[in-house]
Structure 1
Amino acid sequence: MAKKNKSQPGSATIAVNRIATHDYFISERFEAGMVLQGWEVKSLREGRAQLKESYVVLKGGEAWLLGSHVSPLLSASTHVHPDAVRTRKLLLNRGELNRLIGSVERKGFTLIPLSMYWKKGRAKLEIGLGKGKKLHDKRETEKGRDWQREKERVMKQR
């Protein structure tokens, strides 16, 4: 019963990475801008983006989004040869970048793209700073969700 990642008319959400919260403990969240090409913006407006297998790396003091898939529109990219999974630069201020670099290199955290959305007409990416979950952690989280559902059912019946 998974919801579609496509944006609805009037919705600010473009794509959501639902697997990220299942596989990682997210400790902090950051908002980053993205350097995009024209055809990518048009595709994002149509909701043709996917974050499922994407990740963020820090190289040369900059953040880069790898593996995200933006499907090109046939009518929007006639004169350009689009690369759907190209590496996109993320825009963060220097203080945020320094904090992320310290957490990733020294503390063993990883950067996960959580969602992509529109804010004031610009595409933004929410990045999570997280640690990977072990199998028993995932099971525990699932048991907790099941218990919450069961409690709601019981309370609803009364």
Structure 2
Amino acid sequence: MAKKPDTSSRIADNKKAAYNYFFEERYEAGLVLHGWEVKALREGKVQLTDGYVIIKDGELFLIGCQINPLKTASTHVSPDAARIKKLLMHKDEIRRLIGKVEQKGYTLVPLNLHWKDGRAKCEIALAKGKAEHDKRDTIKEREGKREVERVMKSRHR
């Protein structure tokens, strides 16, 4: 299982994923990118919110991840912001994921993009969808934490 990446090397986070899913396991996968995509990632021109991962022919693909090209992109390349990106993982990890995703209710969602040793990596999670009442509980919990922080902040003044 992948360890938590350093927050200073984070490129983008999928904040919606924590609201919509319970995470069972986390994995780290490499990305197959074009040159203009790497440059755009360095500038932070990426959106993971609507992204999801599919398994096709024993390979992982990231769909719905928008990497917006820079205005200074090469003229001989026609960039496609919504291009499907291939994810790189070991074969045995992919086989394990296939078995778990075939179980009812499980899916793969991207959590974040980050740099590791100069390479772009995607942290993905094996996740189970939350029911509506679970989402309400998440909101209540978040608002409770905010209220406690607000009270603590006013006490320190």
**Residue 13 of structure 2 contacts residue 113 of structure 2 at CA under 8 Å; is this kept in 1?**
yes
Q: Tell me the distance in 2 between the aligned counterparts of 1:80 and 1:132.
A: 38
Instruction: Give the stretch that moved more between structures: 80-89 or 67-76.
Output: 67-76
TM-score by length of 2: 0.88
Deviations 1:18-58 (A, max 9, x none): 00000001111110000001111111111111101111000
Name the structure 2 match of 1:66. Answer: 63
Structure-1 separation of matches of 2:150 and 2:132: 27
1:79 aligned partner, one-letter code: H
Residue in structure 1 matching 2:139, options 135, 138, 142:
142
Gaps of 5+ in 2: 1-6
Q: 1:82 aligns with which of 79, 88, 91?
A: 79
TM-aligned CA deviation for residue 68 of structure 1: 0.7
1:46 aligns with 2:82: no
Partner SS for 1:80: coil
Q: 1:95 aligns with which of 92, 100, 121?
A: 92
Q: Deviations over 1:90-142 (max 9, x none)?
A: 00101210111011012431000110011110000010111111110011111
- Aligned with residue 14 of structure 2, among 3, 17, 31: 17
Counterpart in the other structure of 1:7: none
* Equivalent of residue 111 in structure 1, options 97, 108, 111: 108
- State the AA in 1 paired with 2:67: V
Could you state the TM-score of these two structures normalised by the residue count of structure 1?
Answer: 0.87
Q: Which residue number corresponds to residue 129 of structure 1? A: 126
Determine helix, strand or coil for the equivalent of 2:38: helix
* AA matched with 1:35: V
- Aligned pairs, how many? 149
Q: Which runs of 5+ in 1 are unaligned?
A: 1-9
Relative to 1, partners in 2 of residues 1:24 and 1:30: Cα closer, same or farther, differing over 3 Å?
A: same
RMSD: 1.7
Measure, in 2, the Cα distance between the counterparts of 1:150 and 1:37: 45
SS at match of 1:106: coil
Q: Which amino acid aligns with 2:53?
A: V
Q: Which amino acid aligns with 2:113?
A: M
